[in-house]
Amino acid sequence: MSATTDSPSDAQLMAQRTKFLKTPQTIGVTCVPFSGGQPKGGVDDGPVEMIRFGIVDQIEGMGYDVSISDGMDKYRSMRPASDPPVGKLKNPRYVSLAARRVADQVRAHCASGSLALTLGGDHSIAMGTLVGSTAVYGDDLCVLWIDAHADINTPATTDSGNLHGCPLSFILGLCDKQDHSADDGLFGWIKPCVRTDSLVYIGLRDVDSGEKAILRKHGIKAFSMHDVDRYGIGRVVEMALDHVNPERTRPIHMSFDVDALDPSVAPATGTPVRGGLTFREGHYICEAVAETGCLVALDLVEVNPALGDPESLRQTVAVGCSLVRCSLGETLL
């Protein structure tokens, strides 16, 4: 195990981009104890609980080298003394600062050829993970977003103002100029870095009406729970990969929100929605992604140890860790 902080040179970035050839042997872990993208405390304890559960030892036990980003405590101390809403957006400065740091850490892991594993924290941190991974892999990268929610609200469409419901609108460049001026450039550092046809969803079942309009307008591919029921998870994952990665040659960033799973499987999360993926369906997705050998970045977010009884907590942390291990190939024969 080792620690990294160095930021990569442009030469390193280019070298890694042209060199991408499947399954890194080093896992670069970034722990992000962050809850500023939504109102419930506790999700900032997600990473430490997964570490306590043994995720690092488990990954090392699978034969990977592990390198951990420095300074996870810094995320808590980054909260600005004053952070009034900008338009409807809550904690906008805090979210922006934290995501920016996440981007640097993920970028450094990807540039050194490691698979960037980010443990959240709420899903707003994916603004950072995707800026980081695309800085290295560019346009070639495709994104699998596994979630009950679409997380694609813009500053204009969000009802809640919670930024964990918005990361993709920034990443895809869907915010109006007005939205951006409304936030006085706070998120101006996020340049559109993923094309709408490089993104695919699995697990959706709670999508706001403004988000549905965005998905339709941009023709973004999404497999809802209705599709999982209709086709079965095997077909769904195959169709999802065929859409963004038909040759299975593009690097994959999978952003896995634990609330994609049914609350009976992952109860300790801030915005649970009934009718989610079963334990096996969730793991199947991870196994199928591992099988492609194309995974270069993985986010595991929205584990909130403060919600529910000790057994809910144990169950949710355990399932989070096992999704990570499966994504790294644990259950492949």
Ligand X SMILES: NC(=[NH2+])NCCC[C@H](N)C(=O)O
Q: Which residues bind ligand X (CB under 6 A)?
A: 123, 149, 151, 153, 158, 160, 162, 164-165, 208, 257, 259, 271, 302
Of the pair 99, 108, the CB lying nearest ligand X is at: 99
Candidate list 45, 147, 211, 227, residue with the active-site label = 147
Candidate list 123, 211, 227, 287, residue with the active-site label = 123
Pure H helices in the chain: 10-19, 46-52, 55-61, 74-77, 92-111, 126-137, 167-172, 177-182, 209-218, 225-244, 279-292, 310-327
User: Contact with Mn ion (CB under 5 A): which of 17, 123, 250, 253?
Assistant: 123
Give yes or no for residue 149 binding Mn ion (CB under 5 A): yes
Cβ-based neighbours of 77, under 8 Å, separated by 6 or more: none
Catalytic site includes residue 227: no
Of the pair 262, 302, the CB lying nearest ligand X is at: 302
Candidate list 109, 164, 253, 283, residue with the active-site label = 164
Catalytic site includes residue 83: no
Q: Are 222 and 201 in contact (CB under 8 A)?
A: yes
The least distance separating ligand X from the CB of residue 251, rounded to whole angstroms, comes to 23
My answer on whether omega of the bond before 121 falls inside 30° of 0, hence cis, is: yes
Q: Are 143 and 253 in contact (CB under 8 A)?
A: yes
Catalytic site includes residue 149: yes
Which residue in the shown chain puts its C-beta closest to ligand X? Answer: 165
Contacts 24+ apart (CB under 8 A), 94-99: 94/36, 95/36, 95/37, 95/124, 95/127, 95/163, 96/186, 96/187, 96/189, 98/32, 98/34, 98/36, 98/124, 98/125, 98/128, 99/124, 99/125, 99/127, 99/128, 99/131, 99/190
140 binds, among Mn ion, ligand X, none (CB under 5 to 8 A by kind): none
Give yes or no for residue 205 binding Mn ion (CB under 5 A): no
316 binds, among Mn ion, ligand X, none (CB under 5 to 8 A by kind): none
Q: How far apart are CA 47 and CA 31, in angstroms?
A: 6
Catalytic site includes residue 302: yes
The least distance separating ligand X from the CB of residue 21, rounded to whole angstroms, comes to 32
Can you count the helices (H) and strands (E) in the chain?
Answer: 12, 9
160 binds, among Mn ion, ligand X, none (CB under 5 to 8 A by kind): ligand X
Q: How far apart are CA 102 and CA 194, in angstroms?
A: 17
User: Contact with Mn ion (CB under 5 A): which of 45, 211, 227, 259?
Assistant: 259
The least distance separating ligand X from the CB of residue 157, rounded to whole angstroms, comes to 8
Reduced to 3 states, what is the DSSP secondary structure of residue 202?
A: strand
The least distance separating ligand X from the CB of residue 318, rounded to whole angstroms, comes to 20
Catalytic site includes residue 257: yes
Question: How many amino acids of this chain bind Mn ion (CB under 5 A)?
Answer: 7
The least distance separating ligand X from the CB of residue 183, rounded to whole angstroms, comes to 16
Q: One-letter amino acid identity for 261?
A: L
Candidate list 149, 262, 287, 299, residue with the active-site label = 149
Of the pair 2, 209, the CB lying nearest ligand X is at: 209
Tokens representing residue 165 in the block:
């419901």
State the catalytic residues: 123, 147, 149, 151, 164, 257, 259, 302
Q: Which residues bind Mn ion (CB under 5 A)?
A: 123, 147-149, 151, 257, 259
